[in-house]
């Protein structure tokens, strides 16, 4: 069944599954929220130290990238989500929307987890409507900096995974204004905590606290009060601002540029869908193994009864097809 369900990177997956037999990854559900978070962080650190993949694989070898993160779904969903936010939503955004400067400055710290990252797109007042976000980024030509600001509570970055306790950098979506002219949403790498874990000046974060699940993930709410970032820290694969305040882009309209930017971030959404499929795979494997081993009315396994065969057998093909479809 394993060969049937797995389509790529089989050796990598086998190596990760073997690694995940380490005692650190044994289920431990009877913990406080803070203990869950610490456990998840230590699990992520140990996984990262094995160097099974690099954030650069997001571009260079996306199937390897997806395979490595997918394996974590079978061990710990909190770990998988925290790793996905860090490597895909934050690191992948920098890899995809940034250029050589950003790759050299940030990606090594993403790879070794010295710069834990989060993804500041969703706002309290704007979830799916990213074009309508209210966080602003105004270019200060004299200082050659962008001023990132949260004008209202509705503009606060909301439910941001990894920001509540551990995050040090955030890929922030904000409405860019240069020389008084609005240019639409752009992405900026903003330092939210220093190396010692203290909040940076102008950054305010509210920890979202305990949840019904995924308590190993430290979700938070972020406000920016005139936070200044260097001109170079705008991700400029599709648009740039020169020191004198000249805005340039190879994509003519705001709407086209926005579509190009968000279109490059689909891998994260694929992994969310894949996570649901992975959960279905685990449930299906349990159901089939139980059906083969559980006997009823003598020594007859319940899998031999047509009423039990119907659902597991019909579903066996469904979860194996879905990852292929979404990665095509």
- Pick the range with the lowest mean pLDDT from 20-24, 48-52, 54-58, 264-268: 264-268
Count of all residues that appear for the chain in the document: 328
Residue-wise pLDDT tens digits, 182-209? 999 999 999 999 999 999 999 999 999 9
CA triplet 210, 214, 216: central angle to 5 degrees? 80
Q: If DSSP codes are grouped into helix, strand and coil, which group holds residue 115?
A: coil
Query: Would the pLDDT of 321 be above 90?
Result: no
Model pLDDT, residue 287: 86
Fold of the 2-114 domain: Butyryl-Coa Dehydrogenase, subunit A; domain 1 (1.10.540)
Residue appearing with tokens 């066996």? 316
Confidence at 326, pLDDT banded by 50, 70, 90: very low
As beta bridge partners, residue 189 has 171
Domain boundaries, given as residue ranges, for the chain: 2-114, 117-261, 274-327
Q: What is the pLDDT of residue 308?
A: 80
Please identify which residue in the block is written with the tokens 């990894």: 162
List the single range of 107-121, 187-201, 307-321 with lowest mean pLDDT: 307-321
Stated pTM of the model: 0.90
Whole-number percent of the chain with pLDDT over 90: 76
CB 94 within 8 A of CB 39: no
pLDDT at 325: 37
Four-CA torsion 190, 151, 133, 85, nearest 10 degrees: 30
What is the CATH code for 117-261?
Answer: 2.40.110.10
């Amino acid at each position: 069944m394993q060969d049937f369900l797995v389509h790529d990177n089989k050796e990598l997956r086998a190596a990760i599954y073997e690694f995940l037999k380490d005692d650190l990854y044994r289920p431990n559900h009877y913990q406080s929220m803070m203990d869950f978070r610490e456990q998840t962080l230590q699990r992520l650190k140990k996984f990262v130290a094995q160097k099974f993949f690099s954030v650069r694989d997001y571009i260079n070898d996306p199937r390897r990238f997806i395979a490595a993160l997918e394996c974590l779904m079978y061990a710990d969903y909190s770990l998988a989500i925290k790793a996905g936010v860090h490597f895909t939503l934050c690191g992948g955004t920098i890899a995809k929307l940034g250029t050589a400067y950003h790759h050299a400055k940030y990606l090594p710290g993403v790879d070794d987890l010295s710069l834990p990252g989060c993804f500041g797109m969703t706002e309290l007042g704007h979830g799916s409507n990213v074009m309508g976000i209210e966080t602003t980024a105004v270019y200060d030509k004299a200082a050659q900096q962008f001023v990132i600001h949260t004008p209202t509570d509705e503009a606060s970055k909301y439910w941001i995974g990894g920001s509540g306790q551990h995050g040090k950098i955030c890929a922030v979506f904000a409405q860019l204004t240069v020389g008084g002219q609005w240019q639409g949403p752009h992405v900026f790498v903003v330092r939210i905590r220093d190396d010692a874990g203290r909040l940076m000046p102008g950054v305010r974060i509210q920890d979202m606290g305990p949840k019904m699940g995924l308590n190993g993930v430290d979700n938070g709410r972020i406000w920016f009060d005139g936070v200044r970032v260097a001109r170079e820290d705008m991700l400029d694969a599709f648009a740039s601002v020169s020191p004198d305040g000249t805005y340039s882009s190879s994509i003519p309209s705001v709407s086209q540029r926005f579509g190009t930017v968000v279109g490059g971030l689909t891998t994260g959404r694929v992994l969310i869908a894949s996570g649901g499929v992975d959960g279905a795979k685990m449930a299906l494997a349990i159901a089939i193994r139980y059906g083969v081993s559980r006997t009823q009315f003598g020594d007859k396994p319940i899998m031999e009864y047509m009423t039990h065969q119907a659902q597991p057998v019909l579903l066996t093909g469904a979860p194996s097809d879905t990852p292929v479809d979404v990665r095509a």
